[in-house]
Chain A
């Protein structure tokens, strides 16, 4: 990129045979456009990292302060659903990567298949999430909506959870701090789910375009860049799973 040698005057004209319809006029070449778009997506993801960063900071502060409340809160999450969701997202990252390979090697049907799988897996993730959220709503563990402390001051009232973890009752003030745990749970997974919804929406659009052959005729940048976004969401979930679900599951 940096070029110290003096070049003859007059800028190079873009070769007219490679002026495809998707080349925007302010770019000199398809390579430059793809390069810029890809870099732009990376800069966007870096800003997303900082966006989630604030939530992770809040989480670490309060986990440090109220560890017993966080343990008790975490036991209320179903680790099986959480693990299943993690597997779903990991596989969806795989299908997304395979989709990219299909786009790059001009396998249109493969691309449509893998994009559709990714789409369905994404929906599956959201489905499982809504089951989990439903459970939380039933048990009144949603901050701001008649939040109940009963499960924490009297763990034996929750048969299934008690059977697995035999939690000791929390003191009333520590029990109140479980609301913070759930605030962070809903904030972090909710923000993540919002990003999933956007991703799934774009995937729907991409499947339609892929069927029309838009990405398998030598111009797969959109798939590549969307893939970056999708993998990023996967990474966020990997950390959310470790931090929210896996706090001390031993008895």
Chain B
């Protein structure tokens, strides 16, 4: 049976939100700045890393996943996992086409 519901009981206050806002703004500045520098193959890696960090902050704090049930975390995880599966297995086909016939 259900009943336990952490979300309704834990109220996250403005201090946390302001801190996260600040972090997100810094991240945005950082990623734009980095895109103007030639870092070769690291450019997309850094851009995605910063984007993922920002996304994780939004998920954990704005969306309260940090304070939520295991079920919520599992659900988010399942979504991310399936998303990555779609991308990686499809790309694996495309990338390995260039490898020729054995």
Contacts and interface: CB of A to CB of B under 8 A. Distances in A.
Classify A-B as touching or not with yes or no (CB < 8 A).
Answer: yes
Interface of A: 1, 3, 28-29, 31-32, 34-36, 38-39, 42-43, 45-46, 49-50, 53-54, 56-57, 60-61, 64-65, 79, 83, 86-87, 90-91, 93-94, 96-98, 101, 104-105, 221, 224, 227-228, 231-232, 234-235, 238-239, 241-243, 245-250
18 contacts: A1-B4, A28-B1, A31-B8, A32-B3, A42-B76, A50-B82, A50-B83, A57-B90, A94-B18, A97-B12, A101-B11, A227-B62, A238-B55, A238-B58, A241-B51, A246-B32, A249-B36, A250-B35
Interface centre among A1, A61, A94 (most CB of B within 10 A): A94
- Considering the complex of A and B, which 8 residue pairs feature the smallest CB-CB distances, nearest first? A46-B79, A246-B35, A242-B51, A250-B38, A94-B21, A242-B47, A249-B35, A49-B79
A98 B75 contact: no
Contact of B87 (A57, A65, A245): A57
Nearest to A11: B1
Contacts of B72: 38-39, 42
Contacts of B37: 250
A98 B32 contact: no
B94 A247 contact: no
B28 A105 contact: no
Contact of A61 (B47, B48, B94): B94
Nearest to B16: A97
Given A57-B87, A235-B55, A247-B44, 14 more contacts: A31-B5, A32-B2, A42-B75, A50-B83, A53-B83, A53-B86, A64-B95, A93-B58, A94-B18, A238-B51, A239-B48, A243-B48, A247-B43, A250-B38
A221 B64 CA distance: 13
Contacts of B24: 90, 93-94
Contact of A57 (B55, B62, B75, B86): B86
A65 B51 CA distance: 23
Interface string B1-36: 111110110011110011011001100100110011
Interface residues of B, number: 53
A29 B1 CA distance: 11
B7 A38 contact: yes
Query: Mostly helix, strand, loop or mixed at chain A's interface?
Result: helix
Nearest to A105: B11
A243 B51 CA distance: 9
Contact of B3 (A31, A61, A234): A31
Contacts of B59: 231, 235
Given A35-B2, A53-B83, A242-B47, A104 B11 contact: yes
A35 to B, nearest CB: 5
A104 B95 CA distance: 50
Contacts of A239: 48, 51, 55
A87 B25 contact: yes
B91 A64 contact: yes
